[in-house]
Structure 1
Amino acid sequence: MSHQNTTFDQRLLDSFPPLVRPIVRFVVEWLPLVIVAGLWEYVSGTVVPRSVLPPMTDVAGTAVTLLTTGEIIPHLTISLVRVALGLGASIVVGVLLGVGMAQSDRVENFFDIFLTLLYPIPKTALVPLALLWLGVGTEAAILIVFLACLLPIVLNSYNAAQDVDQNLIRSAQMMGTDGWRVTWKVLIPETIPEILTGIRQAIPFAFIALVSAEFIAANSGVGSQILAYGQIGNYRPMFAVIVIISITAYVAVRGFEGLKERFVVWI
């Protein structure tokens, strides 16, 4: 479905003159956000009291204030460190596990049951367990981010490794490459595009899991600030922090997509 939509969007874009295509692309990408912002502005004070749902313009102004004064920066920095550590750990473990499962029946049989049981569980449901095991703080949040990001990376690595041309592996083995050296020198390089796709899918999960974990298992970070503002009914900064972390996640995804497009060209 996503491929069909991409093809349709490209055909639609190609129907315009080259000079106006960047403008059309910009409008198509940002129009949904403009519509949501307009509806938010209208609903505030009409359908929903302004005290409960502040206008979008007020929330945007508060977000700018939180950033320019530096009030939210320490919490945002802590949250980004947790995302980086949890996501980084899931990349290392997920790639090795996915490739290992594709190449070894023993590894696949050992971890398949665990991954199958873990897959349908909402990772936010594991926050109380993480809190019980690790206590309030960074470690619990990192664990939840790690678990939320692990599966898409494992699955993409596994599928990509299974699709690697076996002739490449045999050629490497005939040249004296064996064991884990085949994994490092043949399999992982060949699976990099799919691995990057798995990481791209995992980034939004990382931010969702982070905020959920920080609601309960942390006393710092953007999630804890959202909860703190909401508990005292200070909804303007609460929504402002939500907007800030949403924009941060969007920038992270788009930035990674840009790096991926440049990196894959050189593979």
Structure 2
Amino acid sequence: MSYADFRLETVAETIPNPFRRVVRFVFEWIPIAIVAGLWELASGTAVSSEILPPPSAVFAVSWELLVSGRILPHLQVSLYRIGVGLGLSIVVGVALGVGMARVKPIENFFEVFLALIYPVPKAALVPLAILWLGIGTETAILIVFLACLLPIVLNSYNAARNVDRNLIWSARMMGMPAWKLPIKIVVPATIPSILTGIRQAIPIAFIALVSAELIASNRGVGFEILRHGQIGNYTSMFAVLVVISGTAFVAVRGYEWLERRVVTWT
């Protein structure tokens, strides 16, 4: 259940069923409408419209970027980098989290390393990644991978540590070899927490990607944001921000929709 669903659950119960979706939609978008209204009022009054263009102009340019297709090549590059980096973090994070929870030497080996890299802003690693991989896709993928790895590792680790011991004992009593336990018992039992970790990692992936592309890329939405900002085209700069924000929103909501319908047993 998302934060918005939880927040509106009590209110929704007091409203007739046919109108609940409408009321939920209105309440979810009220804060966005308020911010957009204040932004529209501030542009050209409290702040120069050249520096802070009104949302009406920004949304119009965002729509034009999408319809004309000018932003699509950069968006495709960015989504590819997110997909590869996030996919690698899921594979490595689940394996590492489960391994740390079930094998003490693995936990001892990686625990300090993860504790050290956790507080480091991943954007601070971009210059080092440039030295290793150069400017481009590989550096962006590495930063996304590192940024998304920790939430997936932690969720997998905590879930694997709390697996019902009765399941493990029952499997051992039925003759299952010890090496099959993580695959047959532990990982399936941790799927709900793994899915939660992935959901947390999706917005982090977008944040890390834009940070990397602002510094170490000549393509992608982060590069477009920087390019428009450098030439003073702030309306287009904000428009690209709107496009990537909307894409991240759709990605998170789409993932939640799939999670509810495909993995209903969790």
The answer on 1:176 being equivalent to 2:175 is: yes
SS of the residue corresponding to residue 238 of structure 2 reads helix
Residues 24, 47 of structure 1: alpha-carbon distance in 2 compared, 3 angstrom cutoff: same
Counterpart check, 1:251 vs 2:250: yes
Tell me which residue corresponds to 1:230: 229
The aligned residue for residue 95 of structure 2 is 96
For the residues of structure 1 that align with 2:116 and 2:249, how far apart are their CA atoms? 30
> 1:266 deviation in Å?
3.8
**Deviates most, 93-102 or 161-170:** 161-170
Equivalent positions of 1:53-64 (< 5 A) are 53-64=52-63
List aligned pairs for 1:72-87, cutoff 5 A.
Answer: 72-87=71-86
- Tell me, in whole angstroms, the C-alpha distance in 2 between the residues paired with 1:85 and 1:242: 22
Q: Distance in 2 between matches of 1:6 and 1:25?
A: 8
SS at the partner of 1:218? coil
The aligned residue for residue 198 of structure 1 is 197
CA shift, 1:6, in A, is 5.7
Partner of 1:47: 46
Identity %: 61
**Distance in 2 between the 1:74 and 1:205 partners?**
22
Q: Give the letter aligned to residue 198 of structure 2.
A: I
* Alpha-carbon offset, residue 263 of structure 1: 2.6
> Residues 51 and 132 of structure 1: is their aligned pair in 2 closer, same or farther, counting only changes over 3 Å?
same
Instruction: Report how far residue 172 of structure 1 moved.
Output: 1.7
* Residue pairs, 1:1-267, within 5 angstroms: 9-266=8-265
Q: Distance in 1 between matches of 2:26 and 2:168?
A: 47
SS in structure 1 at match of 2:235: helix
Shift in Å, 1:177 = 2.2
AA aligned to 2:235 is R
Q: Deviations over 1:67-111 (max 9, x none)?
A: 111101000000000000000000000000001111011010000
Q: How far did 1:8 drift?
A: 5.3
Q: Distance in 2 between matches of 1:56 and 1:183?
A: 51
Contact map agreement 2:8 2:24 (CA 8 A) in 1: no
Q: Against the structure 1 CA distance between its residues 13 and 228, is the aligned structure 2 distance closer, same or farther, given a 3 Å change threshold? A: same
Cα deviation digits, residues 106-148 of structure 1 (max 9, x gap): 0100000000001111111111111111110100000000010
CA separation in 2, counterparts of 1:214 and 1:33?
A: 27
Amino acid at match of 1:163: N
**Higher deviation after alignment, 182-191 or 10-19:** 10-19
Question: What is the CA distance between 1:20 and its match in structure 2?
Answer: 1.8
Question: Which digits, 9 at most, give the CA deviation of each residue in 1:179-238, with x for residues without a partner?
Answer: 442111111111101000000000010000000000111110000000000001011111
Amino acid at match of 2:142: L
Match of 2:263, SS state, is helix
For residues 151 and 4 of structure 1, what CA distance do their matches in structure 2 show?
A: 22
Q: Distance in 2 between matches of 1:242 and 1:86?
A: 21
Tell me the TM-score normalized by structure 1.
Answer: 0.96
Q: Which amino acid aligns with 2:56?
A: T
1:139-186 per-position Cα deviation (integer Å, ceiling 9, x unaligned): 000000001000000000001111111111122223332244211111
- Structure 1: stretches of 5+ with no match in the other structure: none
CA displacement, residues 16-43 of structure 1 (integer Å, 9 cap, x when unaligned): 2222211110111111111111111111
Q: Secondary structure at 1:265's aligned position in 2?
A: coil
> How many Å separate the matches in 2 of 1:237 and 1:222?
11
Q: Which runs of 5+ in 2 are unaligned?
A: none
> TM-score, length-normalised on structure 2?
0.96
Q: Aligned-pair distance for 1:260?
A: 0.9
How many angstroms apart in 1 are the aligned matches of 2:20 and 2:104? 50
Letter in 2 for 1:79: S
CA distance in 2, matches of 1:5, 1:41: 25
